[in-house]
């Protein structure tokens, strides 16, 4: 009798445990929401979509805003499905995080306004304004000879990171003193000045390429700067001095993205 009673108790406990587990699974499944945004399916939690009160998504989930369903019973929102990933990431992270090179600020700002996310809309507009200001500011790098300022190159660009990339590469090579490169030089925020500049004799070479291959002479340095800029998505706006008949032979290059 005791064994039967014990067995029944175990069966009851097991049933209760299974019942509780089933309820938890049910609650968890109910907390998952599938959205069809412009043909793209997104699965997220209810608490993510309701993070900002009075937003469009919070209104849908809590029944304040009517939303159609697709053929599979998912909420259907007729908006940009690709851009919605940034909306959802903002809801998840609480901050605007965009991939490098993102260029759809205006479209994203419109999406933020549609979804009634004022904080996101302001963050996108602020980012956009900063990019507009940065695009109007020009950074330059001057590579020159302290004894002959006519010998050298000026590179102008509206992207400071591009100037910094070329500058750090030249400084790195200069410190390594490869291939007869001038040993004595000074570096300021925008100028690299050599005591004796690169000459065009055979064998005078400068490492600039990322694959560590060699380039020769000042003229080739200009050419490599142009190629590097084009690979990074910049365009040559103008050569500031083409009096010598060739871009490569000019004294200054101006890049813009």
Q: Are 36 and 78 in contact (CB under 8 A)?
A: no
Report pLDDT for 230.
83
Report pLDDT for 142.
78
DSSP state of 243: T
Q: Which residues of the chain have pLDDT under 50?
A: 2, 24-29, 180, 200, 242
32-135 has which fold?
Answer: Potassium Channel Kv1.1; Chain A (3.30.710)
Cite the residue boundaries of each domain of the chain with CATH code 3.30.710.10: 32-135
Burial of 201 (0-12, 13-18, 19+ CB in 10 A): exposed
DSSP 132-181: HHHHH--EEEEEEESS-TTSEEEEEES-HHHHHHHHHHHHHHHHHT-TT-
Report pLDDT for 220.
67
Helices (H) and strands (E) in the chain, counts: 8, 11
Tokens for 256, please give them. 């813009």
Report pLDDT for 254.
79
What is the dihedral sign for C-alpha 125, 165, 212, 224?
A: positive
Q: How many CA atoms lie less than 13 Å away from 139 in the CB half-sphere?
A: 17
- pTM across the whole model: 0.49
* Backbone dihedral angles phi then psi of residue 143, each to the nearest 5 degrees: -110, 115
Q: Are 154 and 253 in contact (CB under 8 A)?
A: yes
């Amino acid at each position: 009798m005791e064994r039967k009673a014990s067995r029944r108790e175990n069966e009851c406990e097991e049933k209760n445990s299974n019942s509780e587990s089933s309820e938890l699974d049910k609650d968890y499944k109910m907390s998952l929401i599938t959205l069809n945004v412009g043909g793209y399916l997104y699965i997220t939690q209810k608490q993510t979509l309701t993070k900002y009160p009075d937003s469009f998504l919070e209104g849908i989930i809590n029944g304040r805003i009517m939303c159609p369903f697709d053929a599979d019973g998912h909420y259907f929102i007729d908006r940009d499905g690709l851009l919605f990933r940034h909306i959802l990431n903002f809801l998840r992270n609480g901050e605007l995080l965009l991939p490098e090179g993102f260029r759809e600020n205006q479209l994203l700002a419109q999406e933020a306004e549609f979804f009634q996310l004022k904080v996101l809309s302001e963050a996108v507009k602020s980012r956009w304004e900063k990019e507009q200001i940065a695009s109007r500011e020009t950074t330059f790098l001057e590579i020159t000879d302290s004894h002959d300022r006519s010998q050298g190159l000026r590179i102008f660009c509206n992207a400071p990171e591009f100037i910094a990339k070329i500058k750090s590469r030249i400084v790195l090579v200069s410190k390594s003193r490869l291939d007869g490169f001038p040993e004595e030089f000074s570096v300021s925020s925008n100028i690299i000045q050599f005591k004796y500049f690169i000459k065009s004799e055979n064998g005078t070479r400068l490492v600039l390429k990322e694959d560590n291959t060699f380039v020769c002479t000042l003229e080739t340095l200009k050419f490599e700067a142009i190629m590097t800029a084009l690979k990074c998505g910049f365009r040559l706006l103008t050569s500031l001095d083409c009096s010598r008949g060739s871009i490569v032979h000019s004294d200054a290059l101006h890049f813009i993205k």
